[in-house]
């Protein structure tokens, strides 16, 4: 069973090797005429005065937290869906309880405005 993963391991090596090869190969070919202006960060022609890593909207953080919650819940559903044929009614009721809790949490997040993007 584990041997089915060997091709994937080979593919990882081949894909990484390909990426590194193209980078090295093009570094042998390309021209290098750098100057100070060319190496500056792009800001539509204006000289950058501050660094880029400034504060950003808290919304991105909130979305990431919601994502972690919901995605972990879906991971529980994958094995459930595979053996659903054997569980049937029992499995359905169990999952309905699970989804109900999920939906309550989802409703709470919605009411609290966590899903709004203002």
The 8-class DSSP code of residue 60 comes to H
Helices 89-111 and 59-82, axial angle in degrees (round to 10): 170
Which of 58, 84, 97, 113: binder of other proteins (CB under 8 A)?
84
Q: How far is the CB of 92 from other proteins (least distance, A)?
A: 5
Q: Which two tokens stand for residue 75?
A: 């991971």
What is the total count of residues that contact other proteins (CB under 8 A)?
Answer: 69
Separation of alpha carbons 55 and 85, rounded Å? 50
Shortest distance, position 37 Cβ to other proteins, whole Å: 11
Question: Can you tell me the distance from the alpha carbon of 81 to that of 101, in angstroms, rounded to the nearest whole number?
Answer: 18
**C-alpha span between 34 and 39 (Å, rounded):** 7
Q: What minimum distance in Å lies between the beta carbon of 108 and other proteins?
A: 14
Per CB under 8 A, 104 contacts other proteins: no
Interface pick for other proteins out of 47, 55, 58, 60 (rule CB under 8 A):
60
Query: Scanning residues 3 to 42, which ones bind other proteins (CB under 8 A)?
Result: 3-8, 10-12, 14-16, 18-20, 22-23, 25-27, 29-34, 38-42
């Amino acid at each position: 069973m584990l041997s089915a993963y060997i091709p994937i391991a080979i593919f990882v090596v081949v894909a990484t090797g390909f990426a590194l090869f193209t980078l090295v190969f093009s570094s042998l070919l390309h021209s290098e005429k750098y100057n100070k202006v060319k190496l500056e960060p792009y800001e539509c022609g204006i000289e950058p005065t501050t660094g880029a890593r400034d504060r950003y909207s808290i919304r991105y953080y909130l979305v990431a937290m919601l994502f972690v919650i919901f995605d972990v819940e879906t991971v529980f559903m994958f094995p459930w869906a595979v053996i659903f044929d054997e569980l049937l009614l029992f499995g359905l009721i169990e999952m309905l309880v699970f989804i109900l809790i999920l939906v309550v949490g989802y409703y709470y997040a919605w009411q609290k405005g966590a899903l709004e993007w203002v």
